[in-house]
Chains A and B, each alone.
Chain A
Amino acid sequence: MAVVNIRNVSVSYGDQQVLNSVSLTMESGKFIAVLGPSGCGKTTLLRVVAGFSEYSGSVEIDGKAYDAIPPHKRNIGIVFQDYALFPHRSVEENIAFGLRLRRISRADIEQKVTQLLDLLQLQALRSRYPSQLSGGQRQRVAIARALAVDPKVLLLDEPLSALDKKLREEMQVELRQLQQRVGITTMFVTHDQEEALALADKVVVMNKGNIGQVGTPSEVYARPRSRFVADFIGKSNVFEATLDKSEGDALVCKLAGGETVRIARSGEVRSGQEIHFFVRPEQLVLCKPESPAADGAKLAGIVRHVVYKGSNESIHIELAGSKMVEAQVVQSRGWNIGDAVVVGWNANDALILAE
């Protein structure tokens, strides 16, 4: 169990700034997902912690500076995207690799390996070679190998991206349970927001070498601080508006087309200010033109596209000024392309975005 403190870490290749003074604390035993599009610097951050990337700033583990410690003395477990299993060694030898380097007695190595094979349900595959394993099995071996040396921290670099969707979801559950059982501080790098939300205690959203937001999964989903985070995590309908006045718990503002809408109140705002706010697709309320609408807005639109998704449907609607919004409805009321519709929301579901 270890606490990792990353302070003002910057990395640049040539004149390209890959990490821009990033600071982050990983609490002991927590599962932290670093989420972002490709090229956002998330893998570089992982390599900084592992010691494979040169950086300025500092990395501390349990209060001790690690900046001058080479990778092989850091005792940090890594599971690589391609697993990096040693192809010329069996499952057992892969897992024992780190232990053998530590001059541990043969019996102890044997015991530890058996324990890990049990933990990851790999007993039957003990003497197989990596080429004889399936993707999910390789993944387990890679995790077992990393855990064998009792690392202080476990780093996972998109470990599920090579698996197909069904297996990936199974492995997510397994990975989370394993991490909780072992109780190891874990950093998980991914571009898949569903994965990050499903697994993590804490989500770190990165963009262009900066940390956009840090919070629990429900915080970053429900209260994204920027347009980037709102767009990247889940889908969102973003509107531009001008603030008019506050009215109880809500703010009244005007859209570009002149419609008046009500949104949730937040922070310091003043009249006349240009703002962006967003509403999640599942929070848009659709009704027929003559029915009573939600309290936040009453925008007329036309259904342009309907996507059937089994348990729900997503309805794409064109509003005034050709603005497209997407609504997610659980039970279809039989919306058809071309139907006139009124789009609304509850004022406290529409949230202002910081720029």
Chain B
Amino acid sequence: MGIGQRLGWPLLFLLPAAIVIGFFFFTMSIMVRISVAPNLGPAQIGDGFTSDNYIQFFGSTFYLGYLFRSLWLAAYCTLITAVLGYTLAYFIHRSGRRTRVLVGALLVIQFFTAYVIRTYAVMLVIGKTGILNRSLLGAGIIERPLALLFTETGVAIGMILVSLPFMVFPIVASLQSIPPNVEMAAASLGASNTRIFWTVIVPLTMPGIAAGIVVVYLFELTSYIVPGVLGGGYVDMIANLIYAKAMQSFDHPFAAAAAMVTLLVSGLTVYLLQKFFRLVTPRT
């Protein structure tokens, strides 16, 4: 009997969400439509159908360059982020309560602070007159300031620092979910610490690693702020291209096509990553 008999109530409850999500899907479908519309000059969109926008994107090494740079940068930054994130997560896991609360506070502050602010803060550190160069110069380690700002290295440093919290949280969660007796059991069977780490802890935290990597990769692949602030136009990625085409050249059809490519590429990589992690995650 209960309350589940009339379908009217759930429909009513879902209606507002349906409007919001429905509008989201509506915008996505309009974008698909615009991506195959002819561009008739700035802010002029034709009525017909054309594949020109996609041909323009895939036919040009200039445009493809944005895509490949994004894929490559995101790939190695995610890898570094994963190693650093795991280290930090393991550190948190092994720490006592007080350190854990302190680190938790710092990470949550990062998490709740706008990317723009965190990226800007990184800029203040690695800039030409930033504290990094000033202290290295002061210590006599380098003779000329390091050129980090407006280089790929600078962008990579920024992406790693900004996305590190995303990596740490899921890994800590999966570390916490390992029953402590499992480690003791492994040790009692004669496994060394290193061996326990690689054969017990890492496999059991694979779901956390997978979650972190997928989120961070998706975030880094489509970064806008970090290349914008730390790359200064020299290290633009695919999101910067889309924005420039849409808002500066007013070429909506091309920007829509580039956005579609971005969506499909990110969807595909996430799919492949998930498939990969399903293979390497032990079944439980």
Contact = CB atoms under 8 A, between A and B. Distances in A.
Interface of A: 51-54, 67-71
Nearest to A69: B1
Contacts of B1: 51-54, 67-71
13 contacts: A51-B2, A52-B2, A53-B1, A53-B2, A54-B1, A54-B2, A67-B1, A68-B1, A69-B1, A70-B1, A70-B3, A71-B1, A71-B2
Contacts of A53: 1-2
Interface string B200-233: 0000000000000000000000000000000000
The 9 closest A-B pairs by CB, nearest first: A51-B1, A52-B2, A54-B1, A70-B1, A54-B2, A71-B2, A71-B1, A51-B2, A52-B1
Interface string B1-16: 1110000000000000
Nearest to A52: B2
Contacts of B3: 70
Given A54-B2, A68-B1, 12 more contacts: A51-B2, A52-B1, A52-B2, A53-B1, A53-B2, A54-B1, A67-B1, A69-B1, A70-B1, A70-B3, A71-B1, A71-B2
Contacts of B2: 51-54, 70-71
A51 B3 CA distance: 10
A54 B4 CA distance: 10
A352 B3 CA distance: 48
Contacts of A51: 1-2
A269 to B, nearest CB: 46
Nearest to B1: A51
B255 to A, nearest CB: 49
Interface of B: 1-3
A11 B2 CA distance: 14
Nearest to A67: B1
Nearest to A74: B1
Contacts, number: 16
The SS class assigned to the A binding surface is loop
A73 to B, nearest CB: 11
A194 to B, nearest CB: 33
Nearest to B5: A54
A347 B3 CA distance: 57
A54 B1 CA distance: 5
A320 B1 CA distance: 56
A256 B3 CA distance: 57
Contacts of A71: 1-2
Contacts of A52: 1-2
A204 B3 CA distance: 30
Contacts of A70: 1-3
B21 to A, nearest CB: 29
Nearest to A54: B1
A52 B3 CA distance: 9
A156 B3 CA distance: 22
A71 B3 CA distance: 9
A313 to B, nearest CB: 36
A69 B3 CA distance: 11
A293 B1 CA distance: 60
A68 B2 CA distance: 10
B51 to A, nearest CB: 48
A70 B3 CA distance: 8
B137 to A, nearest CB: 59
A19 to B, nearest CB: 15
Contacts of A67: 1
Contacts of A68: 1
Nearest to A47: B2
A321 to B, nearest CB: 43
A70 B1 CA distance: 7
A64 to B, nearest CB: 15
A57 B209 CA distance: 52
A245 B3 CA distance: 61
A165 B2 CA distance: 35
A271 B132 CA distance: 102
A315 to B, nearest CB: 38
A52 B2 CA distance: 5
B5 to A, nearest CB: 8
A217 B3 CA distance: 37
Nearest to A66: B1
A52 B1 CA distance: 6
A87 B255 CA distance: 54
A172 B138 CA distance: 80
A69 B2 CA distance: 9
A51 B5 CA distance: 13
A268 to B, nearest CB: 44
A51 B2 CA distance: 7
A53 B2 CA distance: 7
A67 B2 CA distance: 11
B2 to A, nearest CB: 6
A283 to B, nearest CB: 45
B6 to A, nearest CB: 12
A119 to B, nearest CB: 31
B19 to A, nearest CB: 31
A72 to B, nearest CB: 10
A47 to B, nearest CB: 9
